[in-house]
Structure formats: C-alpha cells, structure tokens
Structure 1
Amino acid sequence: MRRDQFRYCLKILQHFRTLETYFKIYHERNKGQTIKTNVIRSIIKSGGNGHLELTGNKLKLIIQRAKRIERLLNLANNNYNIFDAFPDLNITFFSANRMNTYNYERWLILVKTNNLVSADEGRRLYKEYKEKCKKERYEYLRNLYIGANRGNDLLENEINDEQDEKGEESEEDDKDEERINLLF
C-alpha cells in the first residue's frame, strides 16, 4: 500500500514535468505568472474533479512530496526497498510541514552515510542542491531548444535537397545567394 502511494506521487511528478516542458516551449505566460502555476491551473481545469476534489494546494503538496521521494530513491539507486527499511515512513513524512528543507537534507545524509550533520551544513547542502537543480533545468531546456532547431534545420535541408535534385531553384536559395554576394 505504501509503495503504491509513493509510485502514485512519482507518476504525478512525471506527468507534471511533461506538461511543464510543454508549457515552457509552447505557451506564453503573462507577467507575474509562473509556469508551475499555469500547469497546475491547467491540470485542475481539465481534470473534471467532481469526485477527487483536487485543488491547487493539494497538487503542489503531491509534487513537493514526489520530489523528495525521488531524491530518496535516487540515493537508493531506485530501489524501493528503502521504504521498507523505515517501517514508519509514510507519504506525509515527505511534506514540508513534517520536516523543513534543511532538515530533509540532513536526513538524506544520515540515510546515506549514517552520520548526522549540523543544521548549518544542512542549509549549505540545500543551497547546493537548488543550484544543481537550476543548472540541470537550464541544460535540459537548452538541449530541447537545440534539438528542436536541429530538427527544423534538418527538415529544411531535406526540402532544399529535394528541390535541388529536381533542378528547382527556390526563392530561399536566391535570397541566400544575394546575401553571399553582399558579403563579397
């Protein structure tokens, strides 16, 4: 039962990240709105939540818990037996109401090394983790944009090659020639 709850949270996080990526690429946001807020509103609006009573705050809590569960699983190399090692561990343990972010960092180090670190060390570890997450998000989006641009360039090259094989000169080729001539 507990594992199902953990898996459910992780599945929601996976879908949330997919939607978040979609919103980052295809949706413009208004000033003051975050992508996270737009994704949550979209989920709530499209959910038809008559019987679930899913609210934005509940969804935020699920995502928060899922991120913490994911970090614990990464620490255990995706071995779900880590949850069995702590019989009292349930889904509410992973919320900020139960344990703040600095203490969660300390707890992860305790699980990993069996050594308890100071509160200041926990604060430092959390800041490092946040910086690492920012860099990973940036690289992920950067790779998405680069990949999308490469895909467009490849498609454009294929179209131009097909036209060249047919002996057709396109307007785009003429414009390219004009630009080259202007350089010299």
Structure 2
Amino acid sequence: MSRWFAPGTWWYALPLLLVAGPLMLLAPSVGAGTALAGLAVLYFHRDPDRESPDAGYVSPADGTVSVIREEGDRLRVGVFMNLHHVHVNRAPAPGEIRETTHEPGAHRPAFSKESDRNERLHVDFPDYRVTLIAGAFARRIHPYVEGSESVDRGERIGHISFGSRVDVLFPPSVTHADLRVERGESVRAGETVLATEP
C-alpha cells in the first residue's frame, strides 16, 4: 500500500504547523522554528514504498548495522536508526506472526549496551523474532500487526516515533556463513538482505 507518512504522523506535526502561523505574527523567529519543527516531524515519519527481493531475510529497518552477536545457538543482528533514516519497520521474511509482546523499560541511547533494558516490542514468528527497541528520545512504539496475522517479506509491521533500533533474532539454522552484512554497514528496510536462508 502506497502512502507518504507513517500512521499517526499528523498528531505530531499538525499542532506545530497550526501554531506556527500565529507565532509568525507575534514572534517571527519562534514561528519559523515551530514551522521547521513541524516539517521535520513529517520528514522523520516519511514512509516510502520499497521493493523486496524474492529470498532471504531482509533488513527490518533503515540504518546502520550496530549489533552482530551470538545468543546461545542463535544470531542477533541489530540495526540502529539515526534521525535522518526512515523509521517504518518491515518484516524480514514472510510468515504468520505467532504473537506480539510489549515490554516496558528505560529509554537509553539505542546504540549503547544499556539499551538492552529499553522499552521494546517483540514480534514473534514461528522460527525468528523481530524486536523494535525505543531509544533515548523514542516514547512510542507503533505496531501495525498482531498475532495470527500473515505478512509478506518487506511488509510494514510498525514504526518507532523518534527512535531507535530494530533487532532480528534468527533461527538456529542461520549461521555466520549465511550473513550478508557486517557491523557498520548501511542497510535499507525491506531491500537489503541481512542473511540468506540455509
């Protein structure tokens, strides 16, 4: 489905844009700053269409690969989203969602080790998990999906307003040899292949 902005964007942007007009008359510099803030909110919540490949686990987020680590017999890859990245998140592979689980927590910078205790939303598939993690400025995770829904590769599953990191915990069958990205590499949600399917 084509759309310009993530759902709920206007709740953030419209008040700023409406107030900017009267402020321009009373305090032009403040009004201009408010208008720019409203436009920045629109830019931050943009939602471009993407074309996904036919195979592999694609990145759930735009950003930089900030985490590659082993957890038991599984691999975790995390993508950190900076302010200029698109913050709409996508399904790495097709499948039926088993459940979604919200965990309250802190709001530490998403690139730090302390972010492992941040607020998060788990989207569990039968063989892998996607986790949306709020960051220092992110105060709201917006899921688009629920348990028992089926999604395609690259389909939108949610967004984080003003935040921060999305992780994929791969099934045990995915090994380091299957990874197609390295730490520090830039990726695009729904398009960049993180790992091939063994």
Q: Above 0.5 in TM-score? A: no
What's the TM-score, normalizing by structure 2?
Answer: 0.21
Instruction: Kindly name which structure, 1 or 2, has the bigger radius of gyration based on alpha carbons.
Output: 1
- Identify which of structures 1 and 2 has the higher relative contact order when contacts are C-alpha pairs closer than 8 Å and 6+ apart: 2
Question: Which one has a larger percent helix, Structure 1 or Structure 2?
Answer: 1
